[in-house]
Amino acid sequence: MSQFDINSEKVAVLMGGLSAEREVSLMSGTGVLQALQGQGVNAHAFDPAERDLGELKKEGFSRCFIALHGRFGEDGTVQGALELLGIPYTGPGVMASAIGIDKIMTKHIWRADGLPTPAWKKVDSAAATLAAFAELGGPMIVKPAREGSTLGLTKAVCADQCAMAYALAAGMDEEVLCEQFIAGDEVTVPVLGSGAQARALPVIRIVAPDGNYDYQNKYFTHTTQYLVPCGLPAGEEAVIQQLVRDAYKSLGCRGWARADVMIDAVSRKPYLLEINTSPGMTSHSLVPMSAKAAGISYAELCMQILQSAALDYPRHD
């Protein structure tokens, strides 16, 4: 991590991009841009869907705040390009980003490290999805392996829904994941920092209408409740925060990220669902909400993340 000099550095806020989450990325990026500019940072919007990344170097940008979501922004591709350009960027590096967006690979690593995650099957057809339903039981979650924001996700409650659920997910990604449904509390936990300095922020408990925390309820309605303090039984919050720190480190994350967790209503055991290596920064987003509960304003959060910008392979020339 290089020391940030607010007086001399030109910062690009990467937003928009080519993924299915472009609209949300533009909202995140606009918020970040305004916050940084309000703190006196020489920050500018940069949309990789409209401009070649090589222009970052030509125009003298010395640091990038990645506010891209999904493919071509959160999957290691932009991170790799910035490594080649030698421009430090926010969030996890190439490998952690590439693994983090792939829910199947993430689960393999968490399972190998002894971290709890719901049982799953990778499927490649409607018939395989039906077989997974028979093995995992219902309800079952069917989703694309490499999309975010619950895009393409179905909660299949009966076998008759499997074919439709597979078609929806496969329409967004050739790799489809069937996952055991965990009934209970849904929570999310941001992490800031790297290595031994990584710290989990307050847990947010999510209460969505009819338990349906979908794309619409995430970004465009006001009916979902976000509880922070989370109101969980004594001791559970600390256990979940430690679990998420372990999950973050397991994937080699740095800078910041946010992990989603389900808590079994009966056993109270937490299960890791997935990690977001470039979380949302919109008015509905959860990292700013958790940070606020920890006494960190939106502008301060943006500055902390920007200051953590780094390269996997720093230049020494």
Residue numbers annotated as active site: 21, 149, 219, 258, 260, 274, 276, 280
Beta-strand relationship, 199-200 and 184-192: antiparallel
What gap in Å lies between CA 146 and CA 72, rounded to an integer? Answer: 11
The C-alpha angle with vertex 111 and arms to 107 and 117, in degrees rounded to 5, equals 60
* Cα 155 from chain centre: 20
Asked whether the beta carbons of 106 and 251 are under 8 A apart, the reply is yes
Beta-carbon contacts of residue 143 (< 8 Å; ≥ 6 apart): 103, 150, 152, 153, 154, 169, 176, 177, 179
Beta-strand relationship, 63-66 and 42-46: unpaired
What gap in Å lies between CA 311 and CA 91, rounded to an integer? Answer: 10
Query: Which tokens go with 94?
Result: 């190439």
